[in-house]
Structure 1
């Protein structure tokens, strides 16, 4: 969700900015002016933004995990992370450096940092929508980034979010993990410089011993999980599926002497998951139950999605509210960073000229409807069916080439060649893991990802890793973590037989790794109730003024998607004919985040950002 806006302008634009913010009903609580040198003006705007002010005159919103100090740090506590040493968590941080302001986010970019610098205006936010609204206010055009838009016509997991640092709108850019933005004024015009640590340096291979690094990281996972129930008034749910990843969180929770302080849930709707997860409760003496109902501040889904996801992520998922009390969900999020998602390949083996089809879309002949004037034209019908009624729809060469260009640009920007043999997973780390996996920020900034650790990334890519580039549930850093936490749990069947580990194998690895048996919870600095998640009312007002309101329904999404299609530039509209067809003819009645047809609607809806 649109959690913040940092805006710095030359002095001649101050009056215009103040007039814009004057429309906000809660300006006295949400707007924090920040002093800068040279007559420039800087503003921080967020839900209860004044509470995010730090003792050093900067800003910190969200939470950070300092493993070295064994601390879980919440904003509003007085403690802050340093922009020069990014930490895991979910936060935005503004810090002074002499006359400059430096802005950075968390290590894995779970809270996005998106920006533009143009015409004496520097603006940083987690919302492309808010940045486009601001550009209109200053008379800056919101033109479609043609190459980025063309690449995003690819209906595929890699193409469901940004593939390069350029967003759907020209001039608005996304910051990969390890980035900082330095805002300088001095005696000249205000400007922004992007500083970044390249991936080989950010997650450099300092691993000297495989076992020691793995056990250290595994202990940290267990310690973070142990910390959550110690937070006063908080509720922690452990989600258990039939896979390997969620068992890391389960094993960590079961280490606690009184593990019933957690709530345990599983998904009965997925037969394979449930069949593998249900026996675990009886074996390890815990109880599945319904997730505790929490009070929420109601949010409409369409405004939330437009503020949070439009222009960077197609996933049509949005919560209906923001929790009013601290709640945490422990799952397996982050494991794909170590075990891979796209099968550890160069980008040329991944982009659609190699894949050759639109992922996940099965054409259904019975849903083809032709205009009445074509009825009876058998020659035309025959060739039309041959063109579009295929088992899987083909992707045009221009889309393929654009997808490769965007992926290559994104990877080059972080120091990785697109032909690196593991380029697909470096790309996953910088884009899908950050943007897609970070969508929890639409509801709250509080959800923890204990598996995401700097040294464990280095371990996964290390030459000392005995299980490099794992696929199809084969042994990996993740399976070793599970064995180190609970070998008995590792021996239990999974949802896919390929993931199952024999007793002999587990015992052999356990003998080598040892077992993590006792951890202490981290110190909690501050309290999550001081982290005011969600957008300020002014942002909701701006998005509703553009006609985006209500919740996800078939008719509402179809209408918005087809309206977005009308804003697709003529030069690339051919690439979106098939997405338009899917929305117009095959959009399901129930809008879900996992449906490719719904993701396709998200692609089209985002074009409404353009002028």
Structure 2
């Protein structure tokens, strides 16, 4: 779990490694006399232009990304919207031959990473221990505190239960989400009740009325500098805490275990994402390329969740903060727990289709597991939760909640957005405001960067974005999926 980038080099080659789940994006490009890697498609496009090399729209990828579904809301394969840039999958690092200026991807396929030949009960306890010891270790960092993004749902509840098991819940602060008023009001109410019951204070910036003021001052430029073309969501435009010495804890990443797209084959997944026609055909073609890279048969039951792991889990988990800091932690991103989710039970189902997240929560804190949720999640009583805790080995022992040994200091981790990337975004014309008027003016102008059928496809994307904005009463987040796809086209703009 966690987020990092590590660079090593010698006379012959350079090696770039990052976290197992791919929370840190990695893209590569080569050209006449150069090779480059970055977490930003925008930066690589600008570099290629500065070196007088080509930046061509990948028409199949662009067409596939027009599907009106979150299934197509991020990278779809190793191909990107720029023909000359490649996306590197989770579990894979790169080695650059300095003399040959050649990139080699080093690692194993997602299918191999997630393969498990047995459904082992001990993996739930191992995950609980890892989560609890991690939270204990974070609490030992001098001058630093942790804030948990807490909802009324199950995934962040499991993380909160780990804090309870470690006895650290009163050391936490929490922030809850309320992006769209009454729609998520219940979610917010339950999060507050849960935290109040166990003595966890709200973060002082967790005030819905102040969210707009707490957004980064660079508006759409911050989004464009990292997420444009890679993830179709406005991520860092959401509420941000600005404290430097603070870890962010998330329930995100649980999809690596429990899945998100229905444990189905890729043809069925593409059919859910787009109606018959050019967009679905392009999406299916991209999914076939992705399947080869992932090492999975596209017709396999469960291929959808290997695909989710490869192209959405990490990107989605880190989207809202990764451009600002590398001190986010998603404790449910656990390798053994992910493998358990993809293993078959005795009944033939995938492990992730069961109640493992709830069982994990019960192991950590039976009381937290059965506390109210935003909607009915289970029919367990407290006795049921205690029985499950007993079945999984009983409450964690003192050695199992002891903090991990840590090295170095989080004070040394660079924070803040990349000024280089923000400058490139400014020169590409991205607005410094996140208001809908500025965003839609820029988005519509980007249509002129496309030709032919792709351009007409994106006219439909623009119409859908306007409809969604109206439906959301002018809230830009209501239109973020199609709007992001129009905004990402700015990577094709020459520097102003």
The equivalent position to 1:341 in structure 2, one of 235, 260, 264, is 260
Determine the C-alpha separation between the residues in 2 that align with 1:568 and 1:465: 52
The answer to whether the 8 A contact 1:161-1:312 is kept is: yes
1:322–1:569 distance in 2 versus 1, CA, 3 Å: farther
More helix by share: 2
Q: Secondary structure at the match of 1:210?
A: coil
C-alpha RMSD over aligned residues: 2.7
The equivalent position to 2:12 in structure 1, one of 95, 99, 116, is 99
- Asked if residue 548 in structure 1 is aligned to residue 430 in structure 2, the reply is yes
Deviations 1:553-607 (A, max 9, x none): 01111011101122122132232232121345553564444x2x22211101111
The equivalent position to 1:317 in structure 2, one of 216, 231, 235, is 235
- Asked if residue 506 in structure 1 is aligned to residue 424 in structure 2, the reply is no
Residue number in structure 1 paired with 2:106: 195
1:200–1:287 distance in 2 versus 1, CA, 3 Å: closer
Larger mean CA deviation between 196-205 and 136-145 belongs to 196-205
**1:15-414 residue pairs with structure 2 within 5 A?**
88-96=1-9, 99-186=12-99, 189-205=100-116, 210-257=120-167, 259-267=169-177, 269=181, 270-281=184-195, 284-291=197-204, 299-319=217-237, 323=242, 325-351=244-270, 354-355=271-272, 395-414=275-294
Determine the C-alpha separation between the residues in 1 that align with 2:467 and 2:125: 52
The answer to whether the 8 A contact 1:300-1:321 is kept is: no
1:566–1:586 distance in 2 versus 1, CA, 3 Å: farther
1:321–1:510 distance in 2 versus 1, CA, 3 Å: closer
| Structure 1: 5+ residue stretches without partners | 1-87, 358-394
Residue number in structure 1 paired with 2:339: 458
Residue number in structure 2 paired with 1:425: 305
Bigger radius of gyration: 1
Taking structure 1 as the reference length, what is the TM-score of the superposition?
Answer: 0.73
Residue number in structure 1 paired with 2:361: 482
Question: What's the CA shift for 1:89?
Answer: 2.2
Deviations 1:80-101 (A, max 9, x none): xxxxxxxx32122222366222
Question: What's the CA shift for 1:128?
Answer: 0.3
Deviations 1:117-159 (A, max 9, x none): 2222110000000000000011111110011001000021111
Q: Secondary structure at the match of 1:117?
A: strand
The answer to whether the 8 A contact 2:147-2:173 is kept is: yes
Determine the C-alpha separation between the residues in 1 that align with 2:379 and 2:294: 36
1:125–1:506 distance in 2 versus 1, CA, 3 Å: same
Question: What's the CA shift for 1:229?
Answer: 1.9
1:535–1:238 distance in 2 versus 1, CA, 3 Å: closer
Determine the C-alpha separation between the residues in 2 that align with 1:422 and 1:432: 15
1:560–1:466 distance in 2 versus 1, CA, 3 Å: farther
1:126–1:573 distance in 2 versus 1, CA, 3 Å: same
The equivalent position to 1:441 in structure 2, one of 322, 325, 328, is 322
Taking structure 2 as the reference length, what is the TM-score of the superposition?
Answer: 0.88
Q: Secondary structure at the match of 2:391?
A: helix
Question: What's the CA shift for 1:313?
Answer: 1.3
- Asked if residue 565 in structure 1 is aligned to residue 447 in structure 2, the reply is yes
The answer to whether the 8 A contact 2:343-2:350 is kept is: no
1:297–1:316 distance in 2 versus 1, CA, 3 Å: closer
Determine the C-alpha separation between the residues in 1 that align with 2:59 and 2:44: 18
Deviations 1:258-295 (A, max 9, x none): 5321113444752332454344346x431442435899
1:585–1:206 distance in 2 versus 1, CA, 3 Å: closer
The answer to whether the 8 A contact 1:322-1:443 is kept is: no
- Asked if residue 533 in structure 1 is aligned to residue 415 in structure 2, the reply is yes
1:100–1:217 distance in 2 versus 1, CA, 3 Å: same
Determine the C-alpha separation between the residues in 2 that align with 1:150 and 1:441: 27
Q: Secondary structure at the match of 2:306?
A: helix
Determine the C-alpha separation between the residues in 1 that align with 2:315 and 2:380: 32
Determine the C-alpha separation between the residues in 2 that align with 1:467 and 1:267: 37
Larger mean CA deviation between 211-220 and 577-586 belongs to 577-586
